[in-house]
Structures are given as structure tokens and as C-alpha cells.
Structure 1
Amino acid sequence: MPTSRSSQETPEITSYVAIGDSFTEGLNDPGPDGGFAGWADRLARLLAEQRPMTGSGHYDLRYANLAVRGRLLDQIAAEQVPQIAQMQPDLVSICAGGNDILRPGSDPDDVAERFEQAVTRITPHAGRLLIFTGFDTRETPVLKHLRGKIATYNAHLRAIADRHDLAVADVWALRSVRDRRAWSEDRLHLSPEGHERVAQLAARSLGVPAGDPEAPWPPTAPHTPAELRRENIQWAREFLLPWVGRRLRGESSGDHVSAKRPELELL
């Protein structure tokens, strides 16, 4: 598990800004307010628990989440990255480029170059920067064919992290999210338990105490080949085909969606 710095060496984090797409927005992890929570909200809570309470009953940690579903890397760089200079947070997390990699004809070398440009714009205004590798899609129908592109992009991300001294949450190596229960019905977004595993991984990557993201799943009865075929057909009809259709029409699930937590506010 990546823990490049111990908790004793981890600088104090009093403010945290999360930027990115649906992964960071927290899709398919229902929140207490009727919206979505997600790993970033869960990480913010873990960070907040390291801080004292204020007189108003809040934790002494300010948190903003600027992520919006469907956003491509250039959109994140244009809409979200510039806000970091104004906020000047102790920690920024960025997960971006995944939607670009999923597009036909995309070049992971080019996406990585643009990702590094975004990183160089963020680092002067953030105490620390946390990035994420892409998931291993070898068990995912259709997306498993993109595994090579994702691996190439991940290699670039690790090199970028080395060059800029960034923290890395290596979700590619996170074995627990290879379990079907880590994913929601659409197989594109994490389930609540999947988000919790990623939050724990992210916290440990920062040297912050957290549970074990690789804790064993409870035993479950295996699916028969016939059951798996039926599930795959239903998934393709209900989720894959509409997803492909949106891309062919140039539509995004994030059209007319704004950031859920646009300002740094106390938890």
C-alpha cells in the first residue's frame, strides 16, 4: 500500500479541494443530503477527524469539491484548476483524463502531457497534490480492451508524480476493487463500499490513519456462467448502449451540472 510519508511527517492539512470528474464527484454513492458523497467526501471526513472541533461544532477543516461528472481533462483544466490559485488549499486531489482515455482514438501520451501541464499550474498554489492512477479494467466487459491504454497512461502518471513529488493513490494495484461489489450497477462508477475503499487508500497515501482498503470481502456464492451472461446482456442494454449513444451524439452526463461544493467550507 503506498505510504510514501508517515503520519508524523505529513504536513498539517486544514483545507482540501477535490477536482475532477464523476469519480471525484462521487456518483452512485448516495449522500445524506440527497446528492452524492463519494471517496472525496469520505477522505475529507478522515482528514477532518485529525483536526480539533470549532466552537460552532464543525471540524477545523475546510473542504471544497469542484468535480463535475463527464468532464474531460481540458474542461477540468479550464474550469476547475484556475480556482486553486484563489483558494490556496493545503491539499488538492486531481483525478482527470479517464474520460479522455475512454474516447476512441485518444492518445495516452498526449493526455499525460496535458495532465502534467495542469499539475504545473496547481503545484504553486497547493501545499500537497494527490493524484490517482486509472483502474485495472481487465474484468470489465468492453473496457478491458482499453487496458493497454490505461496502463500506458498510468506509467506516465507515476513518472509525473516522481518529477513533481506528488502523492499517488494507486487504484490500479487496489485488488479489492476487482470485486464486483466495489462497483455500482452501471459498472462505470463505484458503489458506496468501493468509494470507501478508495478513500482509505487515498488517506493512507497521504500518511493519514484509515482502515484497510484491502480488507477481505465477505464470502458470497459464485455466479453461474448463465447468470453472468444474463447480467452482461442486461448491463449492455441498460447502461452501455446509452453511454455509447451519448458519446456518438457529443452529449455529456455533466451537461447543466454544477459543482456540488464550490466553496471551501467547514465540515
Structure 2
Amino acid sequence: MTRRIPGRYVALGDSFTEGVGDTSRHLPNGVRGWADRVAEALARDTPGWEYANLAIRSKRLRHIIAEQIEPALAMEPTLITLYAGGNDVMDVGTSITTILDQYEFLVSRLAESGATILLFTGYDVEVSPLLAPLRRKNHAYNCGIKTIAAKYGAIVVDYAALHAYANPRMWCSDRLHMSKRGHKYLAAHVLEVLQVSHGIVLKEKSHPPKPTWKQRGHGHYLWVAEWVVPLIGRKIRRTTLGDALTPRWPELLRVPPKKGLKKVARRQTTTAAG
């Protein structure tokens, strides 16, 4: 993307794009994320950019199709980012054929807008040997995304090939979502793909020391107790973490070149209080 006139950026998807893992008490839903950082960099580079983020954690492809396509197209975007399907891949019993059929339908509709479209492959997160069978499904998903992107002229951000994410520091404690550092790194990479200048600087950090077998066992126990068991409980109850949430930025807003979206959030809070 070489345009140097302001446009309209709409971000779609699930927790990956909502910003889960990049905590911020000043912003809607308590998170920031790579997409907010991209929007702010676009506005600093070329003032006047507008931004909406419709992503909500836990959403499957069917939800994104039903809830996000039409509002996104109505905004007449010039740039769309979409990460979707990761939750479907992790759902037991969903076929890769069904996932890719829904994904292609979603991309085909977004392509009607004429916007620049960025798609993402899915990273092979090695959270546990128990989930190893899902890796084959994820590989097929990634191959399908690349084929669909080529068919509709979309740009692929090959998240699966970003070796920096082999560092555990790039992930938060649930082992599935990026940490603040991970979100910052991805924002920088997306901006470089778009050929947009940015000031995101990441200090080099080595991998943490390898844990002892005792530490590894304790860490795995905590992960199962704090994340896996509640996840299974939600699946049994057929609820998700996103059920009570609304999109963070549901309508296009002008992103201030200075102080960014925190300035917008403060303004909205003041207006609501008044």
C-alpha cells in the first residue's frame, strides 16, 4: 500500500484483532492490540485516517459473517484486516472444508468493497502435546488462506512464518494470545507490509531460561487449572468470553495523530459522564 492520502481502516475478526493479551485499562474492553497500533501509525503518517474495529473474542467464522460483514461494507473501507477461523480450527468436529468454505465466502464479500485486504495465517502455538493433532488442521487452514488470498487479490501476512514468536515472551499466560510485546511486534510487521513508517521499537530480549522439569510441571498444572478447565466449562455451557462484549470501536472514528486512541477514549468517557 503506497497511498499517502487518508483512508478508512476496518479491522475484523476475533480475540487476535480485538487485542486480547495487550491489557489497557484506558481503552474499551480493557485491551489495546496490534490493530489499534496500526491505526495510530497510519494517522501519524497521514493525518485524517478513520478506524473501526469490530472484532470480538471467541467469535467463529459464522459469527463474523453474520455480525461483521455488513457493518464493515457499509463503512466503505479502503483497508480491511481479517483474522478469522482460529477458533473454528480449535473446535473439535469442525471440518477444514467447512472452515475454508466459510472463510472464502467472507473474503469474497469483503473483496466487493475494492479495499486493500490483509489476511493472516495462523501460528502453530505449541501449548500442549494434547493439542498436537490440531496442528495438521492448522497447516491445511494456512494453505487454504494462501490459495484464497491469491484468488481474491488479498495480501497475506504470514504470521505462521514469523520466527520471533518462538520466544515465550511473545505470549501471555494462556499460551494462546500474544503478549503486549507480541502485539507490538505484529503491528510493526503489518506496517512494514503496508510500507507505512512507524516508531515502534522493540528492545531485543533473549529467550527466558529453560524451566526445570519441576517448574515445567507446575506451570502446566497452573495453565490447565486457570485456562483449560474454565475453557472446557464454557464449552459445556455453550458460552464464550465474548458473549457479553460489544465491538471496541464499532463506528468509524478519526484517529488523532497525537495521543491516538487513548485521547478518543478519554473524550468518550467525558461525554458519557457529562
| TM-score over 0.5 for the pair | yes
Listed one character per residue, the Cα deviations across residues 15-57 of structure 1 (whole Å, up to 9, x for unaligned) are 10001111111012122515210111111122122113xxxxx
1:146 alignment partner in structure 2: 134
Amino acid across the alignment from 1:39: W
Of 146, 160, 163, which residue of structure 2 is paired with 1:175? 163
Gaps of 5+ in 2: 256-274
2:96 alignment partner in structure 1: 108
Task: Please say if 1:246 is aligned against 2:234.
Answer: yes
Listed one character per residue, the Cα deviations across residues 59-115 of structure 1 (whole Å, up to 9, x for unaligned) are x11110011111110110110011122100110111111111100011122211111
Of 188, 204, 209, which residue of structure 2 is paired with 1:221? 209
Distance 1:160 1:31 in 2: 34
Amino acid across the alignment from 1:264: L
Task: Please say if 1:49 is aligned against 2:44.
Answer: yes
TM score, norm. by length of structure 2? 0.86
Classify the secondary structure of the residue corresponding to 1:125: coil
Structure with bigger helix share is 2
1:217 deviation in Å? 2.5
Task: Please say if 1:21 is aligned against 2:9.
Answer: no
Q: Residues 250 and 154 from structure 1, CA distance in 2 versus in 1: closer, same or farther, beyond 3 angstroms? A: same
Q: Residues 12 and 161 from structure 1, CA distance in 2 versus in 1: closer, same or farther, beyond 3 angstroms? A: farther
TM score, norm. by length of structure 1? 0.88
Listed one character per residue, the Cα deviations across residues 105-158 of structure 1 (whole Å, up to 9, x for unaligned) are 111222111111111111121421111100112x22133331110010000000
1:200 alignment partner in structure 2: 188
Listed one character per residue, the Cα deviations across residues 208-230 of structure 1 (whole Å, up to 9, x for unaligned) are 23579998433543322221111
Task: Please say if 1:40 is aligned against 2:35.
Answer: yes
- Contact kept, 8 Å, 1:175 with 1:214, in 2: the verdict is no
Q: Residues 145 and 213 from structure 1, CA distance in 2 versus in 1: closer, same or farther, beyond 3 angstroms? A: farther
Q: Percent identity over the alignment?
A: 35
- Contact kept, 8 Å, 1:168 with 1:205, in 2: the verdict is no
RMSD: 2.0
1:265 alignment partner in structure 2: 253
Gaps of 5+ in 1: 1-6, 53-59
Amino acid across the alignment from 1:47: L
Q: Residues 165 and 249 from structure 1, CA distance in 2 versus in 1: closer, same or farther, beyond 3 angstroms? A: same
Distance 2:136 2:35 in 1: 27
Classify the secondary structure of the residue corresponding to 1:140: coil
1:156 alignment partner in structure 2: 144
Classify the secondary structure of the residue corresponding to 2:117: strand
1:56 alignment partner in structure 2: none
- Contact kept, 8 Å, 1:10 with 1:206, in 2: the verdict is no
Matches within 5 A, 1:127-142: 127-137=115-125, 139-141=126-128, 142=130
Q: Residues 143 and 50 from structure 1, CA distance in 2 versus in 1: closer, same or farther, beyond 3 angstroms? A: farther
Distance 1:118 1:13 in 2: 25
Distance 2:198 2:127 in 1: 28
Q: Residues 220 and 187 from structure 1, CA distance in 2 versus in 1: closer, same or farther, beyond 3 angstroms? A: closer
Amino acid across the alignment from 1:95: Y
- Contact kept, 8 Å, 2:50 with 2:253, in 1: the verdict is yes
Classify the secondary structure of the residue corresponding to 1:168: strand
Task: Please say if 1:30 is aligned against 2:18.
Answer: no
Distance 1:103 1:117 in 2: 20
